[in-house]
Amino acid sequence: MIKKYLLIIGSFLTLFVSLFIWVAVSPQSDPTAEVSQVGTLGGNFTLTGHEGKPVKLSDFQGKVVLLTFGYTYCPDVCPVNLSRLQQIVKQMGTDAEKVQVLFISVDPARDTPERLQEYVHFFHENFIGLTGTDQQIAATAKQYGAMYLRQELNSAAGYLFAHTDKIYVVDEVGMLRTWFDLEEPMEAMVEKIQQFLQDSIT
Amino acid sequence: MKKTFLFILFLCFSTISVLAQEADLALKNGWIRAVPPVSRTSAAYLEIHNQNAESDRLIKAESPLAQTVELHNVIKKGDMMEMTPVDFIEIPANGSRQLKPGSYHIMLIGLFKPVKEGEMGEVTLTFEKSGKHTLTLPVQRGGMNGKMNHGKHDMPDMHNMHDTHGKPSDGKHSMKP
């Protein structure tokens, strides 16, 4: 009798272990790898646009949204990212209108909507700067796995923020698909965005 | 045969003399970031090549463009880019240091007026051993390398950058004992 139970438990164990190994070693195709990279991150949010009106991510359904976190006093990383976004839009050519860039401020205390507008429009007239309450911004950053930390430095620049430098890529139905690091080559970014645009047509 | 030997000898000496002349710092591909008018901070970037057998240190930067000029570094901590002021930037012996976005750079804080694309800006660098170097750098827009048209083969652009050597003695004064 005990032998029989042991046999059953044994076979279940074997089944479980082999299933585990199969899942672990089975090759993953590219789309699956991307899904596992972004996991459960992303989602809709409502913040205040640089014209002072509420702006929702879902307002841009039908476009690929490129999302980045930063602040207008940011001296190095943010101008780099916004310049890269400007170049992406330029290289998209006729598809440029299917791409929307959102720049979310992590410094609402200093970044007024007017200031944000002037800042993002320097890079591109269609870019939108977003701000909100500390809580709203913190919640949005958390949704996307972005981090930021105010730093009091011994610098004439006053306080600065350490922050995530990623460009988040949201597809036309509002799903976070992937992100780009600061080092991601321009060609690779443009190619991926075009791929997401094509995906939704087919 | 003798002629060839002499010619090679001449070549060797001329190479040595050229090297001797250049046994200093070479400052290349510098640029200043064009920033939105609301922004009162900008940054300057360049490559510093050190052909000396000894390492050198960039210890100070000044510019008539801004109230304060600081040396900064950006370090990636986990997922975040963190910027911190540094006391000096080490230039290794027989090596180089790139001051570039997302890394070491010169911070221009409290710009007196917005720096616009196409303008030129002056930056004076003080090195511990090589003294002062004043550079006139172009103001450019752009991402990582200050160039808008990202070709795959960006050629180093040197034609609009001038290095005017300060008096060597200037540098000596700022040397630490």
The C-alpha atoms of residue B25 and residue A119 are separated, in whole angstroms, by 37
Query: Is A50 touching B (CB cutoff 8 A)?
Result: no
The C-alpha atoms of residue B127 and residue B77 are separated, in whole angstroms, by 29
pLDDT at position B77 is 84
Q: Chain B residues with CB inside 8 Å of A83's CB?
A: 141-143
DSSP B136: E
pLDDT at position A202 is 61
Q: Chain A residues with CB inside 8 Å of B42's CB?
A: 75
B157 pLDDT above the threshold of 60: no
Q: Pick the range with the lowest mean pLDDT from A155-159, A194-198, B26-30.
A: A155-159
Q: Among A77, A149, A157, select the one facing B41 at the smallest CB separation.
A: A157
Q: What percent of chain A has pLDDT over 90?
A: 69
pLDDT at position A18 is 58
Tell me if B109 and A155 make a contact (CB, 8 A cut-off). yes
The C-alpha atoms of residue A102 and residue A86 are separated, in whole angstroms, by 12
Q: Which helix (H) or strand (E) holds B9?
A: helix B2-22
Average pLDDT value for chain A: 86
SS (H, E, C) chain A: CHHHHHHHHHHHHHHHHHHHHHHHHCCCCHHHHHHHHHCCCCCCCEEEECCCCEEEHHHHCCCEEEEEEECCCCCCHHHHHHHHHHHHHHHCHHHHHHEEEEEEECCCCCCCHHHHHHHHHHHCCCCEEEECCHHHHHHHHHHHCCCEEEECCCCCCCCEEEEECCEEEECCCCCEEEEECCCCCHHHHHHHHHHHHHHHHC
Tell me if A77 and B70 make a contact (CB, 8 A cut-off). no
A163 pLDDT above the threshold of 70: yes
Q: Determine the distance in angstroms separating the CA of A7 from the nearest CA of chain B, rounded to an integer.
A: 48
Is A176 exposed, middle or buried, given 0-12, 13-18 or 19+ CB atoms closer than 10 A? buried
Q: Pick the range with the lowest mean pLDDT from A45-49, A66-70, A196-200, B145-149.
A: B145-149
pLDDT at position B175 is 30
Task: Taking residues B91-98, report their average pLDDT.
Answer: 96
Q: Among A87, A157, A165, select the one facing B150 at the smallest CB separation.
A: A87
pLDDT at position B10 is 53
The C-alpha atoms of residue A26 and residue A11 are separated, in whole angstroms, by 22
B2 pLDDT band, cuts 50/70/90, is low
Average pLDDT value for chain B: 78
Tell me if B102 and A182 make a contact (CB, 8 A cut-off). yes
Q: Determine the distance in angstroms separating the CA of B169 from the nearest CA of chain A, rounded to an integer.
A: 29
Tell me if B43 and A75 make a contact (CB, 8 A cut-off). yes
Q: Chain B residues with CB inside 8 Å of A187's CB?
A: 152
Chain A CA closest to residue B102: A77
Query: Is A188 touching B (CB cutoff 8 A)?
Result: no
Q: Pick the range with the lowest mean pLDDT from A10-24, A117-131, A182-196, B154-168.
A: B154-168
A134 pLDDT above the threshold of 50: yes
Q: Determine the distance in angstroms separating the CA of A56 from the nearest CA of chain B, rounded to an integer.
A: 25
pLDDT at position A37 is 62
Show the tokens assigned to A48.
């205040």
B4 pLDDT band, cuts 50/70/90, is low
Task: Taking residues A103-132, report their average pLDDT.
Answer: 96
Query: Is A19 touching B (CB cutoff 8 A)?
Result: no
pLDDT at position A156 is 82
B130 pLDDT above the threshold of 70: yes
A157 pLDDT band, cuts 50/70/90, is confident
Task: Taking residues A46-59, report their average pLDDT.
Answer: 96
Q: Determine the distance in angstroms separating the CA of B166 from the nearest CA of chain A, rounded to an integer.
A: 27
A67 contacts A102 by C-beta, under 8 angstroms: yes
B170 pLDDT band, cuts 50/70/90, is very low
B49 pLDDT band, cuts 50/70/90, is very high
B66 pLDDT band, cuts 50/70/90, is very high
Q: Chain A residues with CB inside 8 Å of B36's CB?
A: 72, 118-119, 121-123
Q: Among B67, B101, B150, select the one facing A186 at the smallest CB separation.
A: B150
Count CA atoms closer than 13 A to A168's CA, side-chain side: 26
